[in-house]
Every structure is written in structure tokens, then in C-alpha cells.
């Protein structure tokens, strides 16, 4: 089987309703979608990705009401974040409703929910009467896809249809917020800045993205986002790239450098760096390099999520 790449949300919805897997564009990264209430489809998502069963999935629907129907209860602060940040790159982890198969939540008593912002996936979600489970459409542990071609490269022989919505606007996965004992807690830094969450809630939130072997959110695994070469993160890179060793800068300006020098954003823009991150990590993976040096970016806004991924990619 080789996936068809198309742009028809109607066809994507029809295939999802028939239990097939469909790659879907979101503003964060491409997702590998399936009917979250169909245990066979959910099982196929895990096997297509080689995803360990302890890594639960995020459910997507087109409006806050439609997705929050899969939570058993919604704390006030979750409601506030949903109102302010959805549709958008924020996932809320809430007590689960009974209808959701255990495989989706890895047996946890909570479920992860999101309303994505990309217009094409929203058209698909409007057409189906179930939530769509959609983890990033990459083999487990590898770099997340931000174009339809990335999905086709890595999973094209394991899925039926890839809905092409162009390059992802944000380029980082969603920020995940849970409410253990009622306290808003960031489990994964992502496309919504922690500062924005704090300004919606009017208070500081806990950030608990430390890793373990059985993480609360596997974005927390120490080694993740792997480009498959030795990667060293530094504050400032002095050297030039060579055919063996790539150098990735941030805010390097217009100075001309060689073909093995990359820049996440030559003008030092964090949104642009987020959009470029996974594409550059892929170029490191496929460019024939043995190793690379990568500059960290400023540790604020989306920079915190970018540095988080660079550090994990370097482990």
C-alpha cells in the first residue's frame, strides 16, 4: 500500500468513518488520525507508528463543546484556557469520559483533548461524529512531520490517505496542560507559550516536563525527536559547517556561510525558528553528516519549547 496524497476533506472524513488511518494537517505538526472510538483503528495507529502502548493519544474535534464532551468534568481554569486558546496549539488533560477505549488513554483515568486550528482538519472534524485520535505522524521517537512529503517519506506505506494542507504554521507540537489535584501544570512545552497560559489564568503555572522511563507525557522522554546523528547543543557556535559536521545557528544574520551552515531564523525570530526546527533536524538526518552543533535559542516564549526539543534531540 502506498498512501494517496490529496486535498479533499470529504474523502478524508469518509475514510476515517470507514476505520482507515488518514494523515491530517494541523497548525502544529501533521497527525496520524483514526476514529478514537474504534479500538481497531486506534490499535492500527499504535502499530503504524511503533508507538509503545504506554503513550496515550490526543483526541481532536472541531469545537470546544464537541471535544469537551469526552471529559468527565472540566475545571474552571480548563474552561478558561479552552475559551482563550482554542482553536490552537494547546492540549488539555482532563478526567476521561467512559466512552473512550482504554488503549487511547493507555489505561489512565485522564484523556488529552484539543481543538486544532488548521482549516482543513476542521473541515474533516466537522464531517465526522466521533473524536479523531491523532498523534504526530512519525515513527515513535523520530522528528515530527511538518509537510505532507515528510509524512509520505516516513509512513507512506502504512497509511491510506494523506490530506495535504501545506507546511504547518506553528511547527511545534501542542503545549500540554494537566490539572493534577486541580493545579494547572504544563507537561509538555509546545506551540502555546507558557507565558500566554499564565496570562490567561492570571497566575504562575507549574512546569513539570522532567523525564522518566514511564513519563506522564512522552514528549518528556529524555531522548526524543532524534535526527539519528550526534548532536551537541551550545550557546554560540564559532565553527563553520563541513560535509561531516553541520552547524545550526539562530539569528546569524545575512553573513554568507557555506552549504553546511543552517540557521533556524537568520533574523532571530522565534516563530520562524519554530516553523523551521523539524525541517532542519530532518536535513541533519539526511545530509550525510556524522554530527552537528546546534545553537540554543533565547529561553522565552516558543524558545522554551524549541530548546526543550533541541536538548532531547541531543540525548
Alpha-helical segments (H) within the chain: 9-17, 39-49, 64-68, 76-85, 102-105, 119-126, 148-155, 194-201, 270-286, 302-313
Binding mask 102-141 for Mg ion (x = CB under 5 A): ----------------------------------x-----
**HSE value, Cβ hemisphere, 13 Å, CA-based, for 247:** 17
Q: Nine-digit cell at 227?
A: 535526527
Q: Which of Mg ion, ligand AMP, none has residue 111 at its interface (CB below 5 to 8 Å by kind)?
A: ligand AMP
Q: How far apart are the first and last CA of the chain?
A: 34
Choose between 135 and 241: whose C-beta lies nearer to ligand AMP: 135
Choose between 187 and 292: whose C-beta lies nearer to ligand AMP: 187
Query: Applying CB under 6 A, does 172 fall inside the site for ligand AMP?
Result: no
Q: Which letter, b or e, does each residue of 137-146 get, where b requires 16 or more Cβ atoms within 10 Å of its Cβ? A: bbeebbbbbb
Query: Applying CB under 6 A, does 274 fall inside the site for ligand AMP?
Result: no
Determine the Cα–Cα distance for residues 79 and 88; give it in Å rounded to an integer. Answer: 14
Q: Are 146 and 29 in contact (CB under 8 A)?
A: yes
Minimum distance from CB of 231 to ligand AMP (Å)?
20
Among 100, 217, 273, 310, binds ligand AMP (CB under 6 A): 217
Q: Nine-digit cell at 38?
A: 474504534
Q: Which of ligand AMP, Mg ion, none has residue 112 at its interface (CB below 5 to 8 Å by kind)?
A: ligand AMP
Query: Applying CB under 6 A, does 89 fall inside the site for ligand AMP?
Result: no
Residues that bind ligand AMP (CB under 6 A): 55-56, 58, 93, 105, 108, 110-112, 135-136, 173, 176, 178, 187-188, 216-219
Amino acid at each position: 500500500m502506498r498512501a494517496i496524497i490529496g486535498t479533499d476533506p470529504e474523502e478524508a472524513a469518509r475514510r476515517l468513518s470507514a476505520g482507515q488511518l488518514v494523515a491530517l494537517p494541523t497548525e502544529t505538526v501533521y497527525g496520524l488520525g483514526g476514529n478514537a472510538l474504534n479500538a481497531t483503528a486506534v490499535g492500527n495507529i499504535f502499530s503504524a507508528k511503533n508507538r509503545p502502548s504506554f503513550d496515550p493519544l490526543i483526541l481532536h474535534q472541531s469545537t470546544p463543546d464537541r471535544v469537551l464532551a469526552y471529559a468527565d468534568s472540566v475545571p474552571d481554569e480548563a474552561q478558561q484556557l479552552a475559551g482563550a486558546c482554542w482553536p490552537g496549539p494547546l492540549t488539555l488533560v482532563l478526567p476521561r469520559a467512559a466512552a473512550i477505549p482504554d488503549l487511547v488513554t493507555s489505561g489512565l483515568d485522564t484523556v488529552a483533548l484539543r481543538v486544532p486550528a488548521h482549516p482543513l482538519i476542521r473541515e474533516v472534524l466537522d464531517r465526522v461524529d466521533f473524536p479523531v485520535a491523532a498523534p504526530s505522524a512519525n515513527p515513535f521517537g523520530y522528528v515530527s512531520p511538518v509537510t505532507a512529503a515528510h509524512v509520505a517519506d516516513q509512513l507512506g506505506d502504512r497509511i491510506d490517505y494523506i490530506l495535504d494542507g501545506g507546511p504547518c504554521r506553528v511547527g511545534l507540537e501542542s503545549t500540554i496542560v494537566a490539572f493534577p489535584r486541580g493545579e494547572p501544570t504544563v507537561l509538555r512545552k509546545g506551540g502555546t507559550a507558557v507565558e500566554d497560559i499564565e496570562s490567561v489564568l492570571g497566575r504562575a503555572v507549574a512546569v513539570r516536563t522532567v523525564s522518566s522511563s514511564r513519563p506522564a507525557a512522552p514528549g518528556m522522554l529524555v531522548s526524543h525527536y532524534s535526527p539519528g546523528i550526534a548532536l551537541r547543543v551550545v550557546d554560540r557556535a564559532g565553527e563553520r559547517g563541513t560535509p561531516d559536521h553541520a552547524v545550526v545557528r539562530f539569528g546569524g544574520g545575512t553573513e554568507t556561510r557555506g552549504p553546511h551552515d543552517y540557521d533556524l531564523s537568520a533574523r532571530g525570530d522565534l516563530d520562524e525558528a519554530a516553523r523551521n526546527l523539524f525541517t532542519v533536524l530532518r536535513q541533519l538526518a539526511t545530509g550525510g553528516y556524522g554530527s552537528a552543533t546546534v545553537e540554543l535559542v533565547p529561553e522565552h516564549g516558543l524558545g522554551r519549547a524549541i530548546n526543550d526539543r533541541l536538548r532531547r534531540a541531543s540525548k
